[in-house]
Structure 1
């Protein structure tokens, strides 16, 4: 069944993006891929997540520091692709950041709370609740909440450094942020690497430290 414009929340999402307090780039999406994403995710456009999956390839937020997943775009996997990597739906990854962190909705497998958005970051290799659900996360991410959240994980000039990155690229920081020597990101070595490489590295760190983060 195709939803009418009155049933879809996409116009409301667009208004929120237009009023964003930080830069947001909406990646284009083939409508057929958007419809396929809704079917795979078992969502409709009546939800904020469904509207973003159906109408965007993803959202590039705050000079590319955070990449919110949508229906999928070159270099940026879609929500459905991440969901396919976790058939048990223990959690659903909804956004990636430029330093190897990610946000996910707890599907019951993260131990935070079903429906709550959680974060796993390279400074503390374990999942923790951000507070609120998906719609609240979108409002917070585009509404100016990221600077305080990331704090000292950002270095002087991070915007100009990060803006040119492709969606599938991120920053490898050495020493890494979880190490005492990596606390000052202005003093660490930074290198552009594939995000997949960062995720693999931090997954191994989590296994060693017992923090528990999956590759998906």
Structure 2
């Protein structure tokens, strides 16, 4: 419990740097004495669920770390610096890192124009950290959702609401590594889903018709699905939130 609290505070501290306009160099952000990757790798090695560590490009990872302005002592910074991202359950959940061939998006590149306008020098309402194959998005609250800054939310495809998960970033990692994902996604995994998901690009998601948030779409066995660009799905979700009047429920 104390260890989780420590990493939670470290992540909050790192993210607060951006809002305070205190820009640090890559060398300042890379912690060589106490790297967070040591702990993250231990968690992955003992994970119950399948975790794939995507190949990292050292130049891109340093750029991504600088643009995110988080220290590599934190789990988030460690994943950005040391991985191109993580694939959970053959890619059902994609945890963003610094980008790779299988998962081209990095945390800063995916968040630019969403949680913030520019990479550095301003605060962020939220930070998109992961997503899943059916168009659900995981994000940390930077103050734009509710008062629980640093906690993880899930923009759920079955109701288009920002659902509080009452997790820190570290908690979220451990959830992905060890929790029963079959239970979490109960009713939304079809026969042979693993084969379909494993060959899909990390820049795509399955667009489900009728949408899962409609009355007609609640029976997943009767829906059709096709892979579309994740940006298209994200924009569609936000557009429908506005049309349904859900934006007033954010705070």
Q: Which residue of 1 aligns with 2:104?
A: 76
Distance across 1 between alignment mates of 2:91 and 2:208? 17
| C-alpha distance 96-137 of structure 1, shift in aligned 2 (>3 A) | same
Determine the C-alpha separation between the residues in 2 that align with 1:38 and 1:208: 36
Matched, 1:117 2:162: no
Unmatched tracts of structure 2, length 5 or more: 1-26, 117-122
Q: Is the 8 A contact 1:99 1:171 kept in 2?
A: yes
Where is the strand percentage greater, Structure 1 or Structure 2?
1
Alignment of 1:142-157 (within 5 A): 142-157=177-192
The structure with the greater share of residues assigned to helix is 2
Runs ≥4 residues deviating over 4 A: none
The aligned residue for residue 176 of structure 1 is: 211
- Mapped to 2, the partners of 1:211 and 1:158 lie a distance apart of 30
Distance 2:78 2:245 in 1: 36
Alignment: residue pair count? 212
Name the CA distance, whole Å, in 1 between partners of 2:87 and 2:195.
15
SS class of match (1:123): coil
What is the deviation of 1:186? Answer: 1.4
Judged with a 3 Å threshold, the aligned counterparts in structure 2 of structure 1 residues 209 and 112 are, in CA distance, closer, same or farther, namely farther
User: What is the CA RMSD across the aligned residues, in angstroms?
Assistant: 1.7
Q: Residues of 2 paired with 1:76 and 1:60: CA distance? A: 12
In the alignment, is the contact (CA less than 8 A) between 2:84 and 2:100 conserved in 1? yes
Per the alignment, in what secondary structure is the counterpart of residue 226 of structure 2? strand
Greater shift in the superposed pair: 157-166 or 176-185: 157-166
Q: 125, 131, 138: which is aligned to 1:103?
A: 138
Q: TM-score, normalised by structure 1?
A: 0.91
In structure 2, what is the equivalent of residue 13 of structure 1? 40
Q: Which residue is 2:226 aligned to?
A: 191
